[in-house]
Amino acid sequence: MQLLPLTRAEHRLSDWPIAAKSILGFWVFYALTVVARAWLGTDPVTELRNRLLLIGFGIILTALIYLALAAFGRGRSLARRAVIAAAGSFLAAGAMSGFQVLADRIMADSKEQVRYQAREGFVIVEQGRRVRIERMSQAPLEVTLPRLSELDSAKQFRIAANLAVMWLFFFAAWSAFYLAMVAQRDALEAQQRAADAEGAAQAAQVRALRYQVNPHFLFNTLNSLSSLVMTGRSDRAETMLLALSTFFRSTLSLDPTADVTLAEEIDLQRLYLDIEKARFPDRLQVEIDVPEELEQARLPALILQPIVENAIKYGVSTTRKTVVVSIAARTMDDGRMCLEISNRLKHGGKDALGAATHEGTGLGLSNVSQRLQARFGRRGECRFGPMTEGGYKVALTMPVERRG
């Protein structure tokens, strides 16, 4: 039962390091100005000793303003917190000026002498509260000024009001500085939360899209195995099963949201194409052209899988002729990388290879486009269409990002 108030208090005071640093920073700056002013005189020790009382009390009052903001302004609008800060500054200024008037009775008198000449020719010497007037051919006249606490109430109030105006600006300045720091922190935290949420959503989207690949690929491969078994080609079916197990052992070990190098992605596609070669030994020819400088470029794992599957499904499977499936990478003029996956007849011809690319489950190019957008945003593009010389081509454009 006692844990709930403690938790709330901890939540209200969660920004105490910011408050503590700002409070100490303001009063240290004030102390430095006092020190600089004191050392201009001949009795800096007394001046500093007297001011230490005010500085200590001022720190307490500033901390009370912070506690008021923490207690009544947490979770409120900036306007509400500004009103609380203004009210706290007004009360603190009044308390500070009253304390200064009361503390005057215990403050030590300065030993510093200040001499100046009046217009009437007298020399006036001030030392603390004592004033001596030196007159020509007359004995000096010495007077002692009363302490603030010895004045009548009206004069004390007037002096306290003047002091309060000065302190009001000081406490208001700290309050404005503190609220600005808190507002900046809240804005940065909100920005970070938005970025984290966007990153989490993007990772979830990439993971979901990646998980669509394996079932889609498995469905197509099982169909191929079924065809081999039904036609009595058990040796090819065994070869395909071995290649399939190797492929899945490699792909299932990958992080669904991780990137791989282009070289690693090409190796995965070689495994898949080996499976398809077992199915179409005389009708499938593979060409891969990846320059060495692009081998370490990063891209989403298995991003090429649905495209290569479509190249087989809508190319090799639809003709009795030899089909060349090509994977090529190149660097574009703008510095991005372009991956081109195409299928074409080996001996030429304008058969409509890949014309049915958008049929079936629709997981092919749609999956690739969504993954590119999730990973690279507008910097990633997916273009596709039939080639003028025959066949079909898909071109993926993305930034060149390397490890480290």
Beta partners for residue 117, in sequence order: 123
* Spatial CB neighbours of 194, under 8 Å, sequence gap ≥ 6: none
How many CB atoms neighbour CB 344 within 10 A?
A: 24
The pLDDT value given to residue 342: 93
- CATH class of the domain whose range is 233-398: alpha beta
pTM score, whole prediction: 0.49
Name the burial class of residue 118, with classes exposed (0-12), middle (13-18) and buried (19+) by CB atoms within 10 angstroms of its CB. Answer: exposed
The pLDDT value given to residue 150: 77
The pLDDT value given to residue 18: 85
**Using CA atoms, how far apart are residues 280 and 288, in angstroms rounded to an integer?**
18
Closest Cα to residue 330, out of 366, 290, 274? 290
Crossing angle of helices 44-72 and 78-103, in 10° steps, is: 150
**Using CA atoms, how far apart are residues 332 and 334, in angstroms rounded to an integer?**
5
What's the Cα-to-Cα distance from 381 to each of 305, 339, 341, 372, 394, rounded to whole Å?
16, 10, 14, 7, 10
* CB 203, CB 125: distance < 8 Å: no
The pLDDT value given to residue 217: 63
* CB 229, CB 221: distance < 8 Å: no
Largest CA distance in the chain: 139
Beta partners for residue 297, in sequence order: 402
Per-residue three-class SS string for 25-55: HHHHHHHHHHHHHHCCCCCHHHHHHHHHHHH
Encoded tokens for 178: 């503190």
**Which CB contacts under 8 angstroms, 24+ apart, belong to 52-55?**
53/103, 53/106, 53/107, 54/96, 54/99, 54/100, 54/103, 55/27, 55/30, 55/31
The pLDDT value given to residue 197: 58
The pLDDT value given to residue 108: 72
Question: Side chain identity at 248, as an amino acid letter?
Answer: F
Place of tokens 């510093």: 112
Beta partners for residue 325, in sequence order: 286, 343
Dihedral sign computed on CA atoms, order 243, 248, 249, 255: positive
* CB 264, CB 225: distance < 8 Å: no
Dihedral sign computed on CA atoms, order 230, 231, 233, 239: negative
Domain segments of the chain as ranges = 3-105+152-192, 108-146, 233-398
Instruction: Give the side-chain half-sphere CA count within 13 A for 92.
Output: 30
Per-residue three-class SS string for 233-291: CHHHHHHHHHHHHHHHHHHCCCCCCCEEEHHHHHHHHHHHHHHHHHHCCCCEEEEEECC
Beta partners for residue 285, in sequence order: 324
Place of tokens 């005071």: 13
The pLDDT value given to residue 205: 56
Each of the 404 residues of the chain gets a pLDDT tens digit; together they read: 333 343 444 456 777 888 899 999 999 888 888 878 777 766 777 777 878 888 999 999 999 999 998 888 776 778 888 999 999 999 999 999 988 888 887 777 777 777 878 887 788 878 777 788 887 777 888 887 787 777 888 888 888 899 999 999 999 999 999 999 888 888 888 787 777 656 655 655 555 555 555 565 677 677 777 877 888 778 877 877 887 788 777 776 766 667 889 999 999 899 888 888 877 888 899 999 999 999 999 998 888 988 888 888 888 878 888 999 999 999 999 889 999 999 999 877 665 444 444 444 445 688 788 888 878 888 889 999 898 888 899 999 999 988 75
